[in-house]
Structure 1
C-alpha cells in the first residue's frame, strides 16, 4: 500500500505539469496487415490513440541430443496494447498512458523439458509464466523540461525498461533483457509489478535511468493475471540504475549500456544451510540472504554502411553478472555479428551468428565436489556454451520470419548431457 500511495501521489504531481510538448509518432498504414481499417486507425492516431495487435509464434525440434531426440514444441503469444497521447486528448502536455495485455499459448511443455536436454536456457524464448492472459503494462508517462526528464509510474517489468537488447533469436539467451532470466527477484515480460522509472537525457548521446520495482512473487500466479490493482505479498524492491551512451562513431550509430541493480529481498543460499554447514552434505533449510546485487552491459555498434543507411555489418554483445551465492548462472555472455541487407533486393533482411556462454555458480560446483569426496556419484556443473545462426526475413512490412539453428555444448554445464542441435523458426505478425 505504501508503494502504491507514492505512485498515486507522484502521478497527480506529474498531471499538473505543462513544461513539455509531446511529439507524435508518424503513422504508416503499410506497417499493418489490416492497413488503416477504412480510415479508423489513422483517425484514432490523429486523436492520440494508437492500437497495437501482434502475434508471435515459435516452434522447434531437437535434431540431435537430449534424452529423447526429435521432439517438437510450439508456443505463441498475442499482444494487444493501447498507447494514449494525453496531450492530444486533454491538452496535458508531455503526458501519455500505456496499457498492454499478453496472452501466451501453445503446448504446456517447452522443448527443453520434452526432449530432456538439461540446458540452462530455453530454445524457444516465448515460453514462460503460464498459458494465460496477463496485464503486461499499465503506466502513466510524463516528459518534462524539453524532453530531458521522462517519468513513468505504474505497472511495468524490469525488461521493458532496463537492459534492453535486440531480440532476433528464438534462443532465450539471445533475446532481449537477460537479468530476469537468472534472478528470481527480477521479473521479465510479461510480468508487470508496480514500478517507478525516471530517465534523464543529458544530451543527444548520454542518459541516466533509475528505477524502483516491486518484488512480489504473487504476480506470477494465475489468480493475479488480470488484477489491475495490487497483489498482497510484497517482499521488497529492486533498485536498478543504467547509464547509456548512444554515440555516432565514424558516422555510424552505436548503443552502449552499463547497468547495476540491488534488491532488499535476497534469496536462498546455494551452498550453506541455516546452521552454516554445506547443504550438499548436511541438508536442512538453505541459509537466507537478505539482499543481492548484479550488473550488466550491452553493446550494439554498426561497423559498416551502404550509402549511409542502416544496412551493413554490426557487432552486438550483452553480459550479466549475478550473485554467485544465490544464482545458478552467475555469469552470462553473448557476442555476435549481423549483416542487414546482405542480398540485393532484401534490404531489411538480417543475417546473424552469435556465440553464447553461461557459467554455473562455483557454489554449486563446490557442493558437488564435497559429495564426490564423500563417496556420492554426482555431476559437477561448470560451463554451458553454444552458437546460434539466424536469418530474419522481412517478408512484408508487417510480417517477419526468423529461421535459426542452435548448437548447445555441455548442456546444464555438465558433460553428462549430450550436446544438442536445435532447428527453430519464429514468426512476427502485426495486424
Structure 2
C-alpha cells in the first residue's frame, strides 16, 4: 500500500472513531443518574466521562436549590429525596393484598479540588432510611422478583450507611481509581435505565448476579473494595475491581446499619472485569451503552446437588459439599434510536442483556431481559417517561434436579418452594408523570409468571404506584 492510500485509510478510520466516540466537545450528552431512581450516583460511565461529583437533580424547593447550587460552587454536594413504592395484587390467590415501602435518602459529595485544591479527588457518601412491607412475601416468593425494588437491605433501622468512598482522577482523567466501602453494582453491570422500573428483578443490576452470590454486593449493602477504570479513548473503557465478600451484609449477625467496617466475616474476594463502549451515532448523537463483564468470587459455597463424595446429597442425607470459586458473566446493551431532546435520556431507548451464573453453587443459571424506555414521547410532556420491560430467569438445573429428588421423597424444599423450581418471568409497563419540579408520580402494572419460579403457582397481576420527590 502506497503512502497516499495509507493516509486515506487512516483518515477514514479517524473519521469513524470521531463519529462513533466523539470527544468532550459534546459532553452535554453524558449520562446522569436515573431521574426517577432513589438517590445515588452510579459511577459507571454514562457517556464520555466519569460520574460528575454530584448528581444534577431537579429540586422541589427553589430556595433550597439555590442553597445547594451555592454549596456546589464550593465543592459540597447535597441531595435529599423521598421514594415510596406501593403495590396491590389483583389476583394470584391474594386479590386485594397491598404493601407500602419507602426510602428517605441523603447523599453527600465533596470535591476536594474546590475545597482545598487537591485536583481530581472526590468523595461520595449515601445514607438511607427504609421501611415497609414486601408484597412478594405474601405469595411465598423468595426469588429475585419483587414488586417494590426499594424493599430490602437497610430496612427497619433509623439510618443505614450505603457507602462511603473516594475517587481519584489521573492522567487527564483517562484513569480513575475508586477506593472505600462501596457496592459492586455502582460500577459494574448497571445502567441508568434500570431503575426506571419498579420491579426488583433488574433495578440496579440484573438481580441474578447477587441473589445466591454474595460477592456481587449491591446497593444498599457495601464492602471494602477498590476499582480502576481506564479510558484508552473517548467512549471506550476497561475497568477491574477487587471487593471483599460478606454473605452476612444487612443481617443481625454482622450489622444492619452499614456502619460496621470490620472484615471479620468476609469469606473471600470478588474480582469483576468489564469492557464498555459508549458510542454516539448520527447528527442527533444517538447514545448507546454496551458492556461485557466477568466476575470471579474466591469464596466457598455449598454445592446445590452433590455431597462430599459427589453423590446426590438428598439421597445420601450427607451435607452438601463445599466448592471454591464462582464465576459470572454479563452482556448488556442499550441504544437510543430516536432523540426527543438534548439530555442523555431524552429519546427512545431499546435495551437488552443476559447474565450467566455458575449452576453448581447457586440458585440461577440464566437471566435474560429486554425493554423500551422513552422520555419525552409527547411534545407537550417532555419530562414524562414510558417504559416496558420483560425479564426471564432460569433456575440452576443442578438445583432443580436436587429439588425433584427431595419432592419425590416428600421432603421440604429450600427457598420457600413448595414445588421444584424452573423459571420466572416478569412483564412491567410503567408511565412516569412529571407532576412538578422535583416530583414524579408513576403508575405501574406488573405481570408475573411462575412466582418463586414454581409452575404450580398462579400468575399474578399487580398495580403499583411510585412517588419520587427531591427536596
C-alpha distance after superposition, 1:164-190 (max 9, x if no partner): 122111101131212224523322101
Judge conservation of contact 1:62–1:71 (CA < 8 Å) in 2. Answer: yes
Of 214, 226, 232, which residue of structure 2 is paired with 1:184? 214
1:236 matches 2:279 = no
Is the Cα–Cα contact under 8 Å of residues 148 and 201 in structure 1 kept in the other structure?
yes
Separation of aligned partners in 1, 2:215 and 2:156: 21
Provide the residue aligned with 2:405 in structure 1.
370
Q: Secondary structure at the match of 1:280?
A: helix
> Aligned pair 1:33/2:60, yes or no?
yes
Please say if residues 359 and 397 of structure 2, whose CA atoms lie closer than 8 Å, have aligned partners that are also in contact.
Answer: yes
Q: CA deviation at 1:358?
A: 0.8
**Alignment partner of 2:196: what SS?**
coil
Q: Please, what TM-score do these two structures have when normalized by structure 2?
A: 0.80
Match of 1:171 in 2: 199
Shift of 1:369: 3.6
Q: Among residues 331, 334, 337, which one is paired with 2:372 in the alignment?
A: 337
Q: CA deviation at 1:144?
A: 0.7
Q: Which of these residues, 96, 117, 120, is aligned with residue 122 of structure 2?
A: 96
Distance 2:143 2:226 in 1: 34
Distance 1:349 1:182 in 2: 36
* SS of corresponding position for 1:170: coil
Structure 1 residues 368, 105: CA separation in 2 closer, same or farther (over 3 Å shift)? closer
**1:388 Cα shift?**
1.0
For residues 391 and 258 of structure 2, the distance between their equivalents in structure 1, rounded to whole angstroms, comes to: 35
Kept in 2: contact 1:61–1:72 (CA 8 A): yes
**Range moving further from structure 2, 383-392 or 180-189:** 180-189
Structure 2 residue 436 is the aligned partner of structure 1 residue 402: no
Distance 1:392 1:123, change over 3 A: same
Cross-structure match for 1:277: 311
Render the CA deviation track for 1:233-267: whole Å, top value 9, x for unaligned.
22111000111100013341100011110011031
Q: Tell me what 2:25 maps to.
A: none
1:347 maps to 382
- 8 Å contact 1:169–1:402 — kept in the other structure? no
In the aligned structure 1, how far is the partner of 2:449 from the partner of 2:128? 33
Is residue 62–residue 115 contact of structure 1 (8 Å, CA) maintained in 2?
Answer: no
Equivalent residue for 2:236? Answer: 206
Shift of the alpha carbon at 1:295? 1.1
Cα offset for 1:26?
9.0
- State how far apart, in whole Å, the 1-side matches of 2:223 and 2:420 are: 36
CA distance in 2, matches of 1:215, 1:25: 27
Matched, 1:291 2:325: yes
Distance 1:38 1:267, change over 3 A: closer
- CA positional deviation for 1:308: 6.9
Residue 428 (structure 2) pairs with residue 388 (structure 1)? yes
Distance 1:103 1:416, change over 3 A: same
Q: Is the contact between residue 86 and residue 95 of structure 1 (CA under 8 Å) also seen in structure 2?
A: yes
Structure 2, gaps ≥5 residues long: 1-49, 413-417
Aligned to 1:144: 170
Q: What is the alpha-carbon distance in structure 2 between the residues aligned to residue 172 and residue 313 of structure 1?
A: 22
Aligned positions, number = 406
| Whole-Å separation in 1 of the counterparts to 2:467 and 2:212 | 26
Classify the secondary structure of the residue corresponding to 1:347. Answer: coil
Which of 139, 148, 159 is residue 115 of structure 1 equivalent to?
139
